[in-house]
Amino acid sequence: MTIDRPVGPPPPFDPELVPALRIINEFLAPDALADPAVLAALNDRPSLMEPPTDEALARDGAFTVEERSVPGPEGAPDVGLLICRPAAAREPVPVLYHTHGGGMVTGNNRMGLPEMLDLAADVGAAVVSVEYRLAPGAPHPGPVEDCYAGLRWTAEHAAELGADPARVIVGGASAGGGLAAALALMARDRGGPALAGQLLLCPMLDDRNDTPSAVQMAGLGVWDRASNGAGWTALLGDARGTDAVSPYAAPARATDLSDLPPAFIDVGSAETFRDEDVAYATRIWQAGGRAELHVWAGGFHGFDMMAPQAAVSQDARAARLHWLRRLLGR
Amino acid sequence: MRDLTVRLDALDPQASAALRVIAYFDDLTAHGATLQAIVRGAAVLAAVPAALVDEARRVRIRVDAQGRTGTPAASPDPAWPSVPAGSAVLWLEHSGPPRPADAMVLERAAAAATAVLDRTRGRADPHDTASVETLLDPASSPQARTTAARRLGLPASARIRAVALHDGTALLRVAADPEDEPAPGTRPAPAAGHVAPAPEGARAGVGPAVDVDGLPDSWEAARTALRLTAEGTPDDPGPRVVHADEAGGLLALARAVGPDSPKIPDVTAVEHAARAAPWVLATLDAVAGASSVRAAAAALRIHHSTLQERLAHAERLIGWSLADTPGRFRLHLALVLRRLHRPPPP
């Protein structure tokens, strides 16, 4: 997907998203995370990304909320799992195994969880959200191996969790979408756990960071090319952009996209990841796989989570839910 | 990265709030946002449901603080802050102590909504007299009629009254909903659509509510009803506003009698009596229209015994008794005929 012809101007943002983005950019410039000082400040200011409390996650008793510490990858520390189960469930429930976003460099396993719980509440699923180590403190494969260890534990302990191991869906947004895509590749290549689907929301897939959309959107929106480059460098160091990069770090590097669980991929048309996400869906189809792709016109990165009231955000969330219902036969 | 829900109350509530509100709606306007997006902006920034209703243009939008759309109430609760947005009304469903940001949000959202309404639903020009005249003229072609209705922002389903003012001005009044319109005579129906409201207290004949194609008939009835009006002064007592709907048989009388019709003796007698004393006409008008002498005295603000004396005098002047209903009805007709003999307004 490298550029072989000039790109046009950036596609316009959705009219309703423009004023929201103006306010968001006051707190978070498009290239904010390219600056280590800003990143440090962001990680020190939980007020900007206030994590939901246990009480908020419980949703008036609809979910039970539990923190577990489970074995991590070989030779690595334990991995934290935040487990939210539908309190009223009598039968084994599907599981949304959630990998949070944050460019591989920030965030925690409560970030993006409310959106996952919205989906889970509708289809009667549990959510297990993994607390993986962040780059650059833990470069590749630290983060994705933490996620895989948590996934394997979840599948192996499904009965204990009241979950159905045949209906485990990996999912996440942004870096979390990239991690979820990587988990699907790892589960295929390592013989398990079996996955029922992969929910990839504006996923961060390609360390090369050189698509037309990455170039077009530089300096605009949320998480532009500079931020993205910084995230990938934190994860991969000098290896970023070289042939040495593993598909488990950057799923766009995978040469084989066959035999993957059904994928849902969505992305805004006005964001860095547009082209790599469209390409990923296209390559799944070309490999004979199942994928559903939604490109939301004028959406910036994470628009549906940062400006959830906008009409296009509501439609994006509805499309996700509808896919999940079809997948689970609900 | 996320969870940065955009809400005004989550932001610095003081100086920068105003700038943010201004920038918010300026952005929406500059990027061609829809009416729904503007109402949603108001709801999201104020963190309460917001609604925009323009009955004439069939715009009914309500958005809650989460951005979900729904059906608005017909009109805002009086406790909620609201503002006009052109011919529409915009409100925030917030009761309790007023919040400084609400007025700012409403003002900027209303300006943005007015711009969209004017752009997408036809420009509001209450003085587009050419379009009004086209609609009132029975000779206008259907095509010209359709164009004029669109220019005035009148939907095909609108119910409209023609209003004839005494100075010759023609107005249209949109009857939004039969239930919404106050009974004629209680207070003027709210002006809606792009049509100008009648000036407060203007002397006017009001035609029946019709669809766009029926406006020539409504106009004819309004013009006829106007001839039944009076200045409402002691020299020219009578109603300043007459609704054709309520005039009943007087409308038929008005169509039959004009300035050139011969005057019956009763009219001549009333005119003669009017010249005898300044109080006569007002007294006769009050007695003809009141349920009792006592009520007429109250309307004239004179003592009941004074009225009895004046009445006896007036009866001698006109030549018939006003003590019974037929006598008062005869007087009422004479007064109406007197008005109908005057030259019609321009």
pTM comes to 0.68
Q: Which residue of A has its CA nearest to B44?
A: A309
Report the 10 Å Cβ neighbour count for A52. 16
Q: Is the pLDDT of residue B333 over 60?
A: yes
pLDDT of residue A43: 74
Cα-Cα end-to-end distance for chain B: 70
- Shortest CB distance from A23 goes to which of B6, B28, B31? B6
Report CB contact under 8 Å: B20, A23: yes
Residue B82 pairs with which residues in a beta bridge?
B91
pLDDT in tens, B76-90: 898 999 998 877 899
What DSSP assignment string belongs to B37-61? Answer: HHHHHHHHHHTS-EEEEEGGGTEEE
Buried b / exposed e across B203-212, counting CB within 10 Å, b at 16+?
A: bbbbbbbbeb
Report the 10 Å Cβ neighbour count for B329. 11
Q: Is the pLDDT of residue B181 over 50?
A: no
Buried b / exposed e across B151-188, counting CB within 10 Å, b at 16+?
A: bbbbbeebbbbbbbbbeebbbbbbbbeeeebeebeeeb
A47, B51, B96, B233, B337 from B100: Cα distances, Å:
25, 19, 12, 47, 59
Question: Per the structure block, which two tokens stand in for A160?
Answer: 């204990």
Sign of CA dihedral B91, B94, B100, B105: negative
pLDDT of residue A2: 55
Which of A205, A183, A208, A199 is CA-nearest to residue A279? A205
Tell me the pairing of strands A291-296 and A263-268.
Answer: parallel
In this structure, what DSSP letter does residue A129 have? E
pLDDT in tens, B145-180: 877 787 777 777 778 899 999 888 888 888 754 444
Q: Which residues in chain A are contacts of B7 at CB distance < 8 A?
A: none
Report CB contact under 8 Å: B28, A50: no
pLDDT of residue A117: 97
pLDDT of residue A3: 58
Cα-Cα end-to-end distance for chain A: 37
pLDDT of residue A4: 62
Query: What would the 3-class secondary structure string for B270-293 be?
Result: HHHHHHHCCCHHHHHHHHHHCCCH
pLDDT category of residue B130 using cuts at 50, 70 and 90:
confident
Interface test with B, best of A14, A21, A22, A23 (most B CBs within 10 A): A23
- Shortest CB distance from A49 goes to which of B3, B20, B27? B3
CB B25 within 8 A of CB A19: yes
**List of residues 6+ apart from A180 with CB closer than 8 A:** A97, A99, A170, A171, A172, A198, A199, A200, A203
Question: How many CA atoms does the CB half-sphere of A46 hold within 13 Å?
Answer: 7
- Residue B242 phi/psi, 5° resolution? -125, 125
User: What ipTM, to 2 d.p.?
Assistant: 0.86
- Give yes or no for A315 touching B (CB within 8 A): no
Question: How many CA atoms does the CB half-sphere of B197 hold within 13 Å?
Answer: 11
Which of B147, B283, B170, B285 is CA-nearest to residue B221? B170
> Across the 330 residues of chain A, what is the mean pLDDT of every consecutive 10-residue run?
73 95 87 83 66 94 97 97 96 97 94 96 98 96 98 97 97 98 98 97 97 95 94 96 97 98 98 98 98 98 94 97 95
Q: Which residues in chain A are contacts of B25 at CB distance < 8 A?
A: 19
Burial environment of residue A133 by CB neighbours within 10 A (0 to 12, 13 to 18, 19 or more): middle
CB A198 within 8 A of CB A184: yes
Q: Which residue of A has its CA nearest to B66?
A: A309
pLDDT in tens, B105-115: 999 999 999 98
Tell me the pairing of strands B88-92 and B69-70.
Answer: unpaired
- Report the distance separating Cα A314 and Cα A304, nearest Å: 7
Q: Which residues in chain A are contacts of B41 at CB distance < 8 A?
A: 16, 19
pLDDT category of residue B193 using cuts at 50, 70 and 90:
very low
Sign of CA dihedral B161, B165, B171, B174: negative
Average the pLDDT over B285-309 and give the result: 86
Q: State the nearest Cα–Cα gap between A275 and chain B, in angstroms.
A: 20
- Report the distance separating Cα B248 and Cα B269, nearest Å: 25
pLDDT in tens, B36-65: 999 999 999 998 999 999 877 778 999 999
Report the 10 Å Cβ neighbour count for A157. 16
A192, B274, B330 from B294: Cα distances, Å:
99, 22, 20
Average the pLDDT over B134-148 and give the result: 83
Least confident of A109-123, B50-64, B236-250, B287-301: B287-301
Burial environment of residue B190 by CB neighbours within 10 A (0 to 12, 13 to 18, 19 or more): middle
Sign of CA dihedral A21, A223, A188, A252: positive
pLDDT of residue A7: 84
Alpha helices in chain A (DSSP H): 17-27, 36-44, 54-58, 113-123, 142-156, 158-161, 175-189, 212-216, 225-236, 274-286, 303-306, 311-328
Which of A265, A326, A251, A263 is CA-nearest to residue A295? A265
Burial environment of residue B146 by CB neighbours within 10 A (0 to 12, 13 to 18, 19 or more): middle
pLDDT of residue A48: 55
In this structure, what DSSP letter does residue A300 have? -
**List of residues 6+ apart from A273 with CB closer than 8 A:** A174, A202, A203, A204, A205, A213, A214, A267, A301
Question: Per the structure block, which two tokens stand in for A271?
Answer: 């964001």
Helix (H) or strand (E) holding B246: helix B244-247
Q: Which residues in chain B are contacts of A34 at CB distance < 8 A?
A: none
Q: Which A residues in the span 195-214 are in contact with B, Cβ-Cβ below 8 Å?
A: none
**Chain B interface residues facing chain A, Cβ-Cβ under 8 Å?**
1-6, 11, 20, 23-25, 27-28, 30-34, 36-37, 40-41, 43-44, 65-68
In this structure, what DSSP letter does residue B334 have? H
Torsion of CA B64, B65, B67, B69, to 10 degrees: 0
Question: Per the structure block, which two tokens stand in for B136?
Answer: 């009132």
Report CB contact under 8 Å: A306, B31: no
In this structure, what DSSP letter does residue B73 have? P
Interface test with B, best of A16, A27, A223 (most B CBs within 10 A): A16
CB A19 within 8 A of CB B41: yes
pLDDT of residue B120: 74
- Report the distance separating Cα B44 and Cα B35, nearest Å: 14
Residue A267 pairs with which residues in a beta bridge?
A295
Q: Which A residues in the span 23-82 are in contact with B, Cβ-Cβ below 8 Å?
A: 23-24, 27-28, 48-50
Mean pLDDT of chain B: 83
